[in-house]
Amino acid sequence: MKSNQSDREARKRNRSALTLRDVFLGFTRGVYAVFEKRFFTWVDRRIFAENQHTLSRKKLYIFPSKRGFAYIAIVFILWLLGTNYQNNLILALAFLLTSVFVIAILHTHNNLASLKIEYTGASPTFAGDDVAFTFLLSTPAKHFTESVEMAWLDGDDMVVNIDVDPLIAISVQVPQMAKRRGWQKPGRMLVQSYFPLGLLRCWSWLSWDVAALIYPQPQAIGVSNSRVADVNGEGVHPVSGGDDYSGLKSYQPGDSMKHIAWKAFAQERGLYVKEFSQNVSQERWLDFNDISVTDVEGKLSAMCHWALYFCQNDEYFGVKLPGIIIDPDKGENHRRRVLEELARYEG
């Protein structure tokens, strides 16, 4: 009986301890969120969103790192020991370490000072992948910048570490997860360095007036085989196969030997295979309303998948979105236009 009562009391104490811990953690997170919001509001008044930044005293902050605080504690203990025991050697060591710390402040700040960071572009990518924002880093003559870390505030701990030579402009890609289709603004970028001794952290928060276009995530969802006759009923779109000679393509293992262009091979132009095609009087369409799913994002993901499939197979196809019609075509320009329309669609 006593054992059961003691167990209940122990469980009550554990629940009470958990409740107090949750309250403390919630309070800490709330205070941190308020402080972070006010800090970035203050930063935004000092550093405006641009396509190019040059790090100066106005944009740089410096503070001791964890290692730096440990270093300060050791110096303070040495000073106390030297003062208490009137030991000049210990005091001299404390003063020497203090001077090293002061010099480290100057070198850590100077390492990032005058670093020029210029945005050069971002390649479109698909939702769920990483989008790489590309920057060009350069420094003034005879000014090396070492151990620079670059990462986005919402970059999922994807940190890029790089050294910048004064004679060469360095191109660097800072990745960020592409979470959803459409235009993605990367937010704030953290640029920091602990060079040379790791005792101090010098950093800056930079805002950028840039965005990357994110395509829908391809998903293999069923779509009806939509083919519509041409206006005149005449074949205008070539497809693989048939009897009409359409050109040459590079030989691939498995191609028929009877289609090899021996004349071109004899002229030492390389090994090619003759291609034959036929024109069809129907057009393939990707229609938004023909996708078997109901949600908009699912439809766009399916259309993205089939658009990539048709492009890979070099097929003519058109796209029908509510309010948008893209005529049948093929090629890289058509592929890019279709994907961009799917990415920007607002339905």
Mean pLDDT of 301-307: 91
Task: Report the CATH number at residue 143.
Answer: 2.60.40.10
- Most confident range, picked from 35-44, 88-97, 311-320: 88-97
51: Cβ–Cβ under 8 A, 6 or more apart, which residues?
A: 118, 119, 208, 209, 210
Q: Which pLDDT does position 284 carry in this prediction?
A: 82
Q: State whether 238 and 308 are in the same domain.
A: yes
Whether 197 is in a domain gets the answer yes
Q: What is the pLDDT of residues 25-62, one digit of tens each?
A: 776 777 767 766 776 676 667 777 788 999 988 889 99
| DSSP 8-state class, residue 223 | B
Looking at 215, 243, 271, the residue that finishes a domain is 215
Mean pLDDT of 288-298: 86
Tell me which residue range forms the domain holding 323: 227-344
124: Cβ–Cβ under 8 A, 6 or more apart, which residues?
A: 131, 212, 213, 214, 215, 339, 340, 343
Q: State whether 241 and 339 are in the same domain.
A: yes
Q: Which pLDDT does position 224 carry in this prediction?
A: 58
Looking at 215, 244, 274, the residue that finishes a domain is 215
Q: State whether 232 and 339 are in the same domain.
A: yes
Q: State whether 256 and 191 are in the same domain.
A: no
Whether 97 is in a domain gets the answer no
The Cα–Cα gap between 125 and 1 comes to 66
Kindly tell me if the per-residue pLDDT of 113 is higher than 60: yes
Mean pLDDT of 66-76: 95
Q: State whether 235 and 340 are in the same domain.
A: yes
Whether 35 is in a domain gets the answer no
Mean pLDDT of 268-274: 70
Whether 22 is in a domain gets the answer no
Q: State whether 252 and 332 are in the same domain.
A: yes
Kindly tell me if the per-residue pLDDT of 205 is higher than 80: yes
Whether 275 is in a domain gets the answer yes
Q: What is the pLDDT of residues 214-266, one digit of tens each?
A: 999 998 877 655 544 444 444 445 544 445 555 666 776 756 666 677 666 66
Q: State whether 249 and 327 are in the same domain.
A: yes
Q: What does pTM read for this prediction? A: 0.70
Looking at the structure of the chain, the number of domains it has is 2
The Cα–Cα gap between 180 and 296 comes to 13
